[in-house]
A and B are shown apart, each in its own frame.
Chain A
Amino acid sequence: MFYREAGQFKTSYRADQGILTIVQDRFVIGAFAFVAFCVVPFFINDYWANAILIHVLVYVLAALGLNILTGYCGQVSLGTGGFMAVGAYASYKLITAFPEMNFIVAILMSGGITAAVGVVFGLPSLRIKGFYLAVATLAAQFFLVWVFNKFGWFFNYSPTGMIVSPPREVFGFLVTGPQASPEARYLFCLSFVVVFALAAKNIVRGRVGRSWMAIRDMDIAAELIGIRPLEAKLTAFAVSSFYIGVAGALYFNVWLGSAEPTEAFDINQSFFVLFIIIIGGLGSILGSFLGAAFMVLVPITLKTVMVDGFGFAVGAAKHAEVMLLGTLIILFLIVEPHGLARLWQILKEKLRRWPFPY
């Protein structure tokens, strides 16, 4: 009864095409944004920032990127970890080579470089599809990680092979390095995520997004109505890689602080982000948020319950956690193959009818 669009008429096409067309939706999202920007920073501490909030935010951004490519354009990719590495290493090279460079500009440029790399690795998509493309992107994953291990230039010949993010400020606040406060790092990531999520939402509901979805749903028909597959697929690779590159740069600079390619950017990263978008909902911006929150929070909750609640040994809890998470994912996909975003839709549908069963 409280969630209704009845009586909310749209009098222009512009209003009809808004993102949040129902007042109640706007209210919920507005409240969320208020809490995220104005309340959380007062309560945040290092544990919350590192283990949960920044962790989720970085993966939201990566998931937005992969969702653009896989969920909207239908091109399966297993190269996410590799592209995150490109973003991380590009930012590392940029901020160490040009210490004066504005940190935001450096992050955006890293995204740009990743976009270019993504386009190159996207070229096979013009010829191959589905599993074959997935294998090709898997090759990209291993190739990129190998390159960052192999050539000293990328890690400035540091003897450990690690890259370490030097302290950088944004608007006078330190956002990287051990001295950076959790609230500054959190707000920095949050701003990126909000801006890029809005941009993604705008792109997918415009011409470019429709051409991606057309390619996804039926590529031959798309071409027959004048959509150029080359253009559509490569823009999807570019935009997707841009997002993933920015996510990789934030992951390395703001979250980890230091990284080493074999561990930080391995194939598990690719799978992790793929799980996020499958669980959250393919082809859904909201789904990227829900999926990232799910994939980060559920393991933490399971661990807390098992170790603190039932007194499991940490090692045993870790194993049990992986098994439980796997089971949960499988169960979940059986119950709702379209992901959390669809579940949310169904819930809204129910709310609309409540208290009447039909």
Chain B
Amino acid sequence: MAYERKIGDTILSVDQISLAFGGVKALSNISFSVNQHEVFAIIGPNGAGKSSMLNCINGFYHPQEGTITFKGNTRRHVRPSEAAREGIARTFQNIALFKGMTTLDNIMTGRNTKMHKNIFWQALRFGPAEKEEMEHREVVERVIDFLEIEAIRKTPVGTLPYGLQKRVELGRALAAEPDLLLLDEPMAGMNLEEKQDMCRFILDVNDEFGTTIVLIEHDMGVVMDISDRVVVLDYGKKLADGTPDEVRSNQAVIDAYLGVAHDDAEE
């Protein structure tokens, strides 16, 4: 990477997380840690447990075992809304925007946790509530400029094409000014150009705001290019972690990706 970034201390550490749905072990005994300002990738074949891992981190799933430490707070269970308030934002594998609302309103919801004027002020609007609204609108407008979606500000997101919806969803997460940004397959289903744009946005966010990013991605080229470190999951187990180069030359990873039967790989 061309620029120098200061990788900080551990911001997130995942310790021996196990999660099962009935008989299905989605995650078994996973541990890894993510440093401040890092771009960290989770890779693995379909059904490996990548999304489940993100869901545990932001409190959507509650693992049966293990703990998650974020910014020094160790816990196993947290409510998703509280995780968001602590500074974790995310996007989803299947876009989860508010379809009936405009791009602007969707991104404004990202600032909800930072707005505090009560409903009486809001009913009056004049004065403090309006001032607050304008302050946050300015932040949101910066996000909109950054993502180059000025033209669709007032468009209901349900009518937007897929690639733009992904961008708006990223905008909503960015508007929260998170310390940790979780991106679940941000480039899935995009064409090459859209992928390049998205890569640029991710790197810019990381670079300009110092946001720590954990992303899931299937496109190996992208992962190797933009991430500082990678963890590889397969059938809910951790195969390897390390820098892209280390992971690329790991035999277990190569076997998993080349589709060697599991029994063989374990021998």
Chain A interface (Cβ < 8 Å from any Cβ of B)? 13-14, 17, 199-200, 202-203, 206-208, 210-211, 213-214, 216-218, 220-229, 235, 239, 283
Contacts and interface: CB of A to CB of B under 8 A. Distances in A.
Contact of A13 (B81, B109, B134, B173): B134
B123 A199 contact: yes
A225 B122 contact: no
Given A202-B129, A206-B129, A208-B119, 11 more contacts: A13-B137, A17-B134, A199-B124, A207-B115, A210-B108, A214-B109, A217-B98, A217-B99, A221-B97, A224-B58, A225-B172
Interface of B: 58, 60, 79-81, 84-85, 89-90, 92, 96-101, 105, 108-110, 112-113, 115, 117, 119, 122-125, 129-130, 133-134, 137-138, 141, 172-173, 176
Contacts of A203: 119, 122-123
B96 A220 contact: yes
Nearest to B85: A226
Contacts, number: 100
10 contacts: A14-B130, A17-B137, A206-B122, A207-B122, A213-B100, A214-B112, A216-B100, A218-B99, A221-B97, A224-B58
Given A17-B137, A213-B100, A217-B100, A227 B112 contact: yes
A208 B122 contact: yes
Interface of A is mostly: helix
A51 B127 CA distance: 40
B58 A213 contact: no
B60 A224 contact: yes
B117 A218 contact: no
A224 B238 CA distance: 26
Nearest to A226: B84
A224 B109 contact: no
Contacts of B99: 217-218
A21 to B, nearest CB: 11
Contacts of A211: 109, 112
Contact of B122 (A202, A218, A227): A202
A221 B172 CA distance: 11
Contacts of B85: 226
Nearest to A206: B122
A154 B109 CA distance: 43
A12 to B, nearest CB: 8
Of the candidates B101, B124, B130, the one having the most CB atoms from chain A within 10 angstroms of its own CB is B101
Contact of B98 (A202, A206, A221): A221
B49 to A, nearest CB: 19
Contacts of A214: 98, 101, 109, 112
A210 B112 contact: yes
Given A13-B138, A211-B112, A214-B98, A225 B89 contact: yes
Contacts of A13: 134, 137-138, 141
A229 B81 CA distance: 9
Nearest to A213: B101
Contacts of B125: 202, 206
Most buried by B among A210, A213, A221, A225: A225
B176 A224 contact: no
A135 B19 CA distance: 36
Contacts of A213: 98, 100-101, 105
A226 B82 CA distance: 6
B119 A226 contact: no
A210 B175 CA distance: 14
Contact of B84 (A199, A206, A208, A224): A224
Given A14-B130, A206-B129, A222 B138 contact: no
A220 to B, nearest CB: 7
Contacts of A206: 117, 122, 125, 129, 133
B101 A225 contact: no
B122 A224 contact: no
A226 B122 contact: no
Contacts of A210: 101, 105, 108-109, 112
A218 B101 CA distance: 11
Given A214-B101, A228-B81, A202 B92 contact: no
Given A207-B115, A207-B117, A223 B80 contact: yes
